[in-house]
Every structure is written in structure tokens, then in C-alpha cells.
Amino acid sequence: MGSPEHERGVDSARVAAVAPILQTGCRAAPAARCASFAWTHEMPMLDPGAKLQAMVDGYLKGNIDDGEDGVGWLHAQSPRMLVDIDGRRRSWWAPRSSELLECLRVSPQAPAAVKAAALFLAGADGNGRTRQAALQRMDALAGRLTLSSALLRCNDWVPEVRVVAQQVVEVLLSRCSIDDVLAAWPLAVRLQDAQRVDADWRRDTLEGWLSAPSQRAVLGGLLVHRDSLTRLSAHAIAFDVHPERVAIRARALRDSDPRIARMAFQDLLDEGDPSQVVEQCSIALTAPSSQVRASALRTLVAHEVEGIDVFVEDALFDRARAVRSLAAFLVRQRHATPAIELWRSALAQQTAGRWRVALEALADHAVAEDVALLRSLYPRVTARHRRNCVRGWIRAEGGAGLALLRVALEEPGRSIHELLTHAQADWVAELDAPRLLAFCHDGPSPVAQTGLLRLLPHVPLWQHLELLLDAVPQRQDERAWHLRLVENWLRVSEGYSPLSAARRQALLTRLEHGGHDLSNAMAQRLAEAVRQA
């Protein structure tokens, strides 16, 4: 064997420890070995097959619960989990040896599932010789787990192991059932991005095998595989070699993975005849991918197909903003009824299946005349849609005035408060001392008061303080509210905010000379915060 890592064999002390373990359990093994493999105490009582099962369970300790069937657990793992198990097994701190292979040798009657599990674990050993020896036994035990192990080893860091792994993969592909190949194939797809794999072998052997007419059933299964990357890889091959390309493309246009849908649409444009383009673009208008829906709409408009105005109008109510914007542009080009009029109509009539999208669309394009409609809708829709009412209201008014603030603060949701924070300059301009004090008695609920307390710290610190000093409460409820406002300011006053000497002196003078209805203790706390700024 060529590489230094592969030449690292099992030293004589470890070899000497293997035989007593296999023959008499841990009694004759070193103390450290007994600590790592306490489960082998029971081995003298077991037949070779049960001993191999116990050994597999021991290697999987930490992955499975006590008493759980390790073999069944390993066979049930997804390809992604097998990659993780393989990586952890190779990085295991314990000394390497060939116990599993030795136990396999003396357990020819063990169930195939147990032997496959043992070979997978041996194939992930940190010793290159052990990995190679495990691979050389796998071709006689075709199955999902052995094929998965061989595919993983095709990216092994030891060249000699990679060569053997490639040979074993070729043999197993000819012997495994379709279900086993489908279960392990995500690991073959993973080799596309692997650094050490032989790219020519992967392309010519793996992809070449899958492209063969004799493997149509395997390719068909991969086209509907639950792993999206596996489906993507299979579609790339199917669009080149499968005789039912048109049907496959029609199904791929509606795939949940946008990469597959986009690939199918590009294949339609490149290879489809005009009748196929029109027919399958109509299908693509309902694709999960918004990019595919938009591309299909553009293509249908370019072909001036019959009923295109209906397609464009339907796209105005698409769930994706990008598709709606494209449809609005096409409406203007075609001099049809403006999109905003159709959205207003759907909202006014509460058109089933359309008004929710119409509200979101109107929020993107609202103008001043839409404020009344949005205000009337606000109390009648759910919290999710009230956010769009506020968003459109802000757009229509060019900002969030105090009237909007009073309404929106009644909504406890964080998303609406974020909108108000971004529009702070508009409502702050209208928020004077009397209106601030009126928040305690002029309509707003405790929810709105709490919301305002959250928003006020976003006002510039010293402007915020001056607003509080201007507010002189006259009623008992106003005094309690004013005290909450002052405490709220003190809570955020430690943050840095530039303060000129002149403004500092003006604030201190106001605090010292009174006229603000604050207690002496509170005035001193405020003055100290100003001095420390």
C-alpha cells in the first residue's frame, strides 16, 4: 500500500489483545480495552452471530439507547445520517483494530443484515487496511448499507482504498435491488462536489450506468426521490437521455425545488417546439417557483397566445410580489385597466380567493385616495392583514402620522411596531406635550400605552427629554402616566447621544428652576443623567 496512513497497521500489542477478546471476552484484554468494550463480558455466552450483533451494538453506543437494536437502527438511517456516522467513526479516539472483521470471519452464519452493519462500521475505521479489507468483502453482500459504504469510500483519502471502492460500487450496482440503489443514490450525488473522487470515473461509470436504457426504472425512481438534490441530478440526466422527456418536463415544472423547475423551463425553451412551449407555459403558470411563473407569463405574452389578457389579470393576484409587479407592467404596456383599479375592486367586493393578495398588492402601490379604504378595512381583518393595512397607509400618506400611530399602537404585534419605528420622523413631528399626556385618558388602551413606551426610546434622547419637560400634567392620571414616561427615559438614558455644552446647560437650568411638576428627587436623577452624558 502506497500512503503512510494506509501503511499504519495494527501494532503487535493490539493484535495480541484481539484474540482473547474474541475467544474469552474482556477477561484477558488490557484494562483500557475492557473499559471501552464492557459489553464484551457477555460474549463467551453468545454464538458467533449474536457476538457480532453485540459488537455492532457496542460500536454504536452513544447513538442508540440501551437495549435498542443497533443493526436495525443503522439500516434505518438516512444517507445524511450515514455520512455523519462515518465521520464520527473515523474520528473516534479509541485505538484502531480489526475486531469486527475478525468476528465476521468466524461468524459466516450471522444474518446478512448484521454482517452488512459490521462491514459498514469496519469500512469507516480509521485504519486504511481495515477499510480496504472491509470493502473487499462487500461485493458478496449486496444491499443498501454496503453500497452506501462503498460510495462513501470513493472519496476516501487513501488512493488505494478509493480504487477498491470504485470496483465494489460497480459490482454492487449490478447486484443491488432498485430500492437499495434508490436509498443509497444520494451518496452518489454527493460525490459531485467531493474533492478526492475520480471525476472521470464518476461521470463515465456512475452517470453512464444511470443513463443506460436498462436503468430506466432506477432513473424514474430518482426523478421522484424525496431528496431534492438527488431529483435535480436525475433530471439533468433525464433531459438528455429519457425518451419521455416532454412528460418528465411537465412534471418537473411543478417540482417543489425551484432549481428543478427552472431547469425544466430552460429545457422547454431550448428543446420544445412552439406548440409544446405554449402548452407547458400554461402549466408553468401554476408552478411553485415564482421565477418560473414569471418566465412563463413573459413567454406567453411574447407568443400572443389566445386568452393572454386573462393570464395577465390572474397574475395580478399572484402570491409573489415579483409576478404581480411583472403583470402590472404588462397591463400598462397593453393599455388595459390599471392594476391598482383591479386590486381596489377586489378589496371593495371582497372577491373570494383574491382580496387577501389584493390587500398586499395595494399596500405596495397605495396612494392618498386609498387611505379611506385601508382605514375601513383595518378593524375588519386579522392581525396578519392589518399589517398590510398599516403598510399601505404609511405609503399612501408618505409616512405615519399621529392618527395612524394611535390606531396601529392598539395592535400588539411586533411587525406593526417595526413599521412605526421606521416611520418615526413623521409621527414624532406631530407628537407634542398635550398629545403625549392625552395617551393616558384619550382613548388608547394599555396595549397602546405599552407600545408607545417601546417606541419613544427611538426618538433622539435629548428631544425625548425636552418633550417630557414640556409635558406638565394637570390630572392625577396624567401624573401617573408622566412618571412612567420619565422612568422609561431614565431606563435608556445611559446610551450615548451627542450633547452640546449649550444644550446641556439649558436642560440643567430647566431641571433646577422647576416648572416641570417633577419631585426634587426625580429632577435630581434627571440632572445627574444629563451631567454624565
Q: Would you say 283 and 250 are in contact if contact means Cβ atoms under 8 Å apart?
A: yes
- Percent above pLDDT 90 for the chain: 52
For CA atoms 219, 120, 115, 54, the dihedral sign is negative
Residue 509 has pLDDT above 80, yes or no: yes
The pLDDT tens digits for 89-142 are: 877 655 555 788 988 888 888 899 999 999 999 999 888 899 999 999 999 999
In this structure, how many other beta carbons lie within 10 angstroms of the beta carbon of residue 422? 12
pLDDT of amino acid 39: 39
- Identify the band that residue 267 occupies on the pLDDT scale cut at 50, 70 and 90: very high
pLDDT of amino acid 22: 31
pLDDT of amino acid 485: 92
Residue 20 has pLDDT above 50, yes or no: no
pLDDT of amino acid 358: 95
pLDDT of amino acid 81: 95
pLDDT of amino acid 37: 39
Task: List all residues 6 or more positions away from 313 whose beta carbon is below 8 Å from its beta carbon.
Answer: 327, 331, 336, 342
Q: Would you say 478 and 441 are in contact if contact means Cβ atoms under 8 Å apart?
A: yes
Residue 8 has pLDDT above 50, yes or no: no
pLDDT of amino acid 96: 55
Burial class (CB in 10 A: 0-12, 13-18, 19+), 127: buried
pLDDT of amino acid 17: 36
Task: List all residues 6 or more positions away from 150 whose beta carbon is below 8 Å from its beta carbon.
Answer: 123, 135, 138, 165, 168, 169, 172
Q: 270-279, 346-355, 445-454: lowest mean pLDDT where?
A: 445-454
Q: Which of 232, 240, 159, 153 is nearest to 191 (CA)?
A: 153
pLDDT of amino acid 412: 64
Residue 302 has pLDDT above 80, yes or no: yes
Instruction: Report d(CA 272, CA 280) in Å as an integer.
Output: 9
The pLDDT tens digits for 455-503 are: 888 888 999 999 999 988 888 888 999 999 999 999 988 877 888 999 9
| Mean pLDDT score of the chain | 85
Instruction: Give the bridge partners for 286, in sequence order.
Output: none
Burial class (CB in 10 A: 0-12, 13-18, 19+), 408: buried
pLDDT of amino acid 156: 93
* Per-residue CA distances from 195 to 85, 153, 164, 237, 497 (Å): 20, 12, 18, 22, 53
- Identify the band that residue 210 occupies on the pLDDT scale cut at 50, 70 and 90: very high
Instruction: Report d(CA 488, CA 529) in Å as an integer.
Output: 13
Given its phi and psi angles, is residue 62 left (phi above 0), alpha (psi -120 to 50 degrees) or beta? left
pLDDT of amino acid 36: 37
